Amino acid sequence: MKIKVINPNTTVSMTEKIGAIARSVANPGTTIIACSPDMGPASIEGHYDEALSVVGILDEIRKGEAEGIDGYIIACFGDPGLLAARELATAPVIGIAEAAMHAASFVATGFSIVTTLSRTKIIARHLVDNYGMTHLCRQIRAIDLPVLSLETDSEIKTLILEECRRALAEDDCGAIILGCGGMADLATLISDKLGIPVIDGVSAAVKFTEALVGLQLSTSKTGDLAYPLAKPHTGILSTFTPRRSPN
């Protein structure tokens, strides 16, 4: 099966890291295609970045549907454009935040999230509430460093580890979720050091996508996830007019 892992930011080193982690957990018969959109922000750290990233994500989904992709992963912790992507796709689409929270709910009765900048905590909080995970989320923590410092700052691993250690000591949580696609390579290291399940949403999303494809479950085209209605789009969105007819 072919899984397209879309890093919604345009930072190539992060896309490569996310792709490598996805491949390391994928089944032998799974091909991981990791990409970032042609257009979009270099990192996603707020509502504005999220909104601008969605058009590029939808472009990758549209191309993927023509390429025979079996499942998609949106590899940014805000799960930007998730429901819009599901409208465009027949194949399942999974966001890394929802995958991580669901995985955590299987192995613990409470989790904390450790993310990047404090301003992104509200995005995680909205997702926790939307996904019905409020009763499980003990705390949302931030290391207060920008996303791209994950690519450049060698000290950042220690900061994340220390924040996870504080979560374990103070939050009464049984699992920790890493709140950024760029932290995908840190879960095993931190889990080994702290002796607690540490969940990277990219890995969880790969395994959930494989499960859904294995179960022959595709995105429902009944109701609100039906293909978008055909109508003209103007300006720089003129190529985004849906080509498929709605059901």
The residue within the footprint of ligand 2AL, chosen from 100, 101, 180, 187 (CB under 6 A), is: 180
Residue 15 binds ligand 2AL, judged by CB under 6 A:
no
| Residues 81 and 54 sit within 8 Å (Cβ to Cβ) | yes
How far CA 36 is from CA of 42, 73, 237, in Å, comes to: 10, 12, 19
Residue 36 binds ligand 2AL, judged by CB under 6 A:
no
**Residue among 10 and 30 whose Cβ is closer to ligand 2AL:** 10
What is the C-alpha to C-alpha distance for residues 94 and 74, in angstroms, rounded to an integer? 6
Shortest distance, position 148 Cβ to ligand 2AL, whole Å:
8
Q: Which segment (42-50, 162-170, 204-212, 229-237) binds ligand 2AL by CB under 6 A? A: 42-50
As given in the structure block, the two tokens for residue 186 are 């840190």
Site string for ligand 2AL, 65-94 (x = CB under 6 A): -----------xxx----------------
84-98 per-residue burial string, b: 16 or more CB within 10 A, e: under 16 = bbbbbbebbbbbbbb
Q: Which segment (83-91, 125-133, 173-181, 185-193) binds ligand 2AL by CB under 6 A? A: 173-181
Residue 202 binds ligand 2AL, judged by CB under 6 A:
no
What is the C-alpha to C-alpha distance for residues 135 and 211, in angstroms, rounded to an integer? 26
DSSP state at residue 121:
H
Shortest distance, position 13 Cβ to ligand 2AL, whole Å:
12
| Residues 77 and 124 sit within 8 Å (Cβ to Cβ) | yes
How many residues touch ligand 2AL under the rule CB under 6 A: the total is 15
Handedness of CA 121, 126, 132, 135 (dihedral sign): positive
Amino acid at 217: L
Site string for ligand 2AL, 102-131 (x = CB under 6 A): -------------xx---x-----------
What percent of the residues of the chain are helix, what percent strand, and what percent coil, each to the nearest 5?
50, 15, 35
Shortest distance, position 147 Cβ to ligand 2AL, whole Å:
4
The binding site for ligand 2AL (CB under 6 A) comprises 9, 43-45, 76-78, 115-116, 120, 147, 179-182
